[in-house]
Amino acid sequence: MENSEIVKIVATVLALAVAIIGHEIMHGYMAYKYGDNTAKNAGRLSINPLVHIDLMGTIIVPAVLFFTGAPFLFGWAKPVPIYIREVIKNGGYKGAIHVSLAGIYYNFALAILASVLLKYTDLASINSLFEYFLVLFIFQSLIYNVVLGFFNLMPIPPLDGSHALSYFASWNRWDKVVNFYSSIERYGMVILLLIIATPASQYFFAPIRYIINMLG
C-alpha cells in the first residue's frame, strides 16, 4: 500500500504513547481513589499527552530505538506525583500496592483487549489505508502493553513491581525485605542496564515473547 511505512510509524508511536501515558495516569487515578489529590491537583489525570511527556523517556529513547532498528520500542512518561502516605492512611498497604500496580493493570487490560480485537479481525478483508492503520495500531498495542506491563512488574527498583513487593513486605512486617529494597534502591538503574545490555536479557524477557505469542 502507498504510504504504508508512514502509517506503520504513526500507528507504532500512537500505540506506545497510549501505553506509557495511560500507565502513568492510572497510577495517579488509583491514588486519587484512595484520597490522594496530588496528581489531580497537578493536572496529571488529564489525557492531554503534553503534560505527561518526558523528553528522554517519551521522545529520545523511543526515537533512538526506532532508528537503530531495535526489535521493539520502549519508553516512559513523566512519573505522576503521588503522596503515598495519604494512600496508606486511607487504604493501608493494600491501597499502596494497588497504586503501584495500577499502570500494570492498565497495560495488561489493553493487551487482552487488543488480543480479543485481533481474533475477530479478518485480515484478508483490509482494503483501505485507514483499516490498515487500525489493525497495526491494535497489533502494536498488544505488543507494547505486554512489554511495558511485564517490564514494570519486575521487582527491581525503581520499577512498579519493586514498590508493590516492598509495600507487601511492610504489610507483613518482613523487615529484612524492606531493608533490602532500601539498600539497593540507589543501584536499581544500574541493575536494569546490566540486565538489558547483557545476554541475560534474552532469558529475562523470554516471558514477554511467550505472552505475546499466547495473546496474538
Q: What's residue 70's pLDDT?
A: 66
CA distance 113 to 70: 25
pLDDT, averaged per 10 consecutive residues of the chain (216 residues), comes to: 77 92 96 97 93 86 76 80 97 98 97 95 85 94 94 92 96 94 88 77 80 85
Q: If we measure between CA atoms, which residue out of 110, 82, 80, 129 comes closest to residue 18? A: 110
Number of structural domains (the chain) is 1
Please tell me the predicted confidence (pLDDT) of residue 2. 54
Check: pTM over 0.85? Answer yes or no: yes
| Crossing angle of helices 4-33 and 129-153, rounded to 10° | 40
Range of the domain at 198: 4-215
